Amino acid sequence: MHKTYLFFLAVLLFSCKNEPAKPTPFEQLLKSSGSQFDILIKNGSIIDGSGSTAYEASVLVNADTIAFIGKVDTNVLVVKKVIDAKGKTISPGFIDTHAHGDPMTTPLFQNFLAMGVTTICLGQDGSSPKSYLSNWTEKVQKQNLGVNIAMFVGHGTLRSTSGINYEKSPAISLINKQGDLLQNAFDKGAFGMSTGLEYTPGTFATDRELIPLAKIVAKNNGLIMSHIRNEDDSQIESAIQELLRQGQHCNVQVSHMKSVYGKGKERAKELLTLLNTPKENGSSITADVYPYNASYTGIGIVFPKWAKAPHDYKKVVNNRRTELLAYLKQKIIDRNGPTATLFGTAPYAGKTLAQVSEEQGLPYEQVLLGIGPNRASGAYFIMDDALQEEIIAHPKVMICSDGSPTMRHPRGYGSFAKIVEEYVLERKRLTLAEAVRKMTHFPAQTIGIQKRGLIKAGNFADLLIFEPEKIKANATYEQPHQLATGFDYVLVNGKVIIEQENFKEKITSTIGRLLNK
Residue 217 has pLDDT above 60, yes or no: yes
Which pLDDT band holds residue 32 (cuts at 50, 70, 90)? confident
Residue type, 166: Y
Residue 496 scores a pLDDT above 90: yes
Residue 3 lies in a domain: no
pLDDT of the residue at 9: 53
Cα gap 301→294, rounded to integer Å: 14
The size of the chain, in residues, is 517
Q: Are residues 275 and 332 in the same domain?
A: no
Following DSSP, what letter does each residue of 167-223 receive, concatenated?
Answer: -SS--HHHHHHHHHHHHHHHHTT--EEEEETTSTTGGG--HHHHHHHHHHHHHTT-E
Looking at the fold, whether 369 and 432 belong to one and the same domain comes out as: no
Question: Looking at residue 287, what is its pLDDT?
Answer: 98
Confidence of residue 21 (pLDDT cuts 50, 70, 90): confident
- In angstroms, the CA 478 to CA 359 distance is 19
Q: Which of 353, 380, 407 is the last residue of a domain?
A: 380
Statement to judge: residues 356 and 208 lie in one domain? no
Close Cβ partners of 108 (under 8 Å, ≥ 6 residues apart): 144, 145, 146, 503, 505, 507
> Per the domain annotation, does 216 fall within a domain?
yes
Summarize the confidence of residues 211-217 as an average pLDDT.
Answer: 98
Residue 5 has pLDDT above 80, yes or no: no
Q: How far is 125 from 114, CA to CA, in rounded Å?
A: 24
What's the number of domains the chain is made of? 2
- Looking at residue 30, its pLDDT comes to 82
CA distance 366 to 353: 11
Residues 268 and 189 in one domain: yes
* Domain span at 334: 297-380
Tell me if 26 sits within 8 A of 71, measured CB to CB: yes
Shared domain check, 146 and 196: yes
Whether residue 176 is found in the same domain as residue 316: no
On whether residue 48 sits in a domain, the answer given is: no
Q: What is the pLDDT of residue 25?
A: 86
pLDDT of amino acid 8: 55
Domain-embedded: residue 120: yes
In percent, how much of the chain has pLDDT > 90?
86
Pinpoint the alpha helices (H) of 19-150.
25-33, 110-114, 136-140
pTM: 0.91
Residue 438 sits in the same domain as residue 406: yes
pLDDT digits (tens, 9 = 90+) for 313-353: 999 999 999 999 999 999 999 999 999 999 999 999 999 99
DSSP structure class, residue 75: G
Q: Is 43 among the domain residues? A: no
Among residues 410, 425, 454, the one where a domain terminates is 454
pLDDT tens for residues 97-141? 999 999 999 999 999 999 999 999 999 999 999 999 889 999 999
Instruction: Report CA-CA distances (Å) from 218 to 214, 248, 250, 398, 465.
Output: 6, 10, 5, 21, 37
What pLDDT does 22 receive?
A: 83
Confidence tier at 88 by pLDDT (50, 70, 90): very high
- Per-residue pLDDT of 431-467, as tens digits, reads 999 999 999 999 999 999 999 999 999 999 999 999 9
Q: Does residue 42 sit in helix, strand or coil?
A: strand
What per-residue confidence (pLDDT) applies to 508?
A: 63
Assign residue 399 the CATH number of its domain.
3.20.20.140
Kindly compute the dihedral angle of the four CA atoms of residues 508, 509, 512, 516, in this order, to the nearest 10 degrees: 150
Calpha distance 343→296 (Å, rounded)? 9
- From residue 375, alpha-carbon distances to 102, 359, 370 in Å are 20, 19, 10
For residue 463, which amino acid is it? L
Reported as a pLDDT band with limits 50, 70 and 90, residue 34 is: confident
457-492 tens-digit pLDDT: 999 999 999 999 999 999 999 999 999 999 999 999
| SS3 assignment, position 260 | strand
Q: What is the mean pLDDT of residues 41-65?
A: 97
Residue 16 has pLDDT above 70, yes or no: no
Q: pLDDT grade, residue 225 (50/70/90)?
A: very high
Of 347, 380, 413, which closes a domain?
Answer: 380
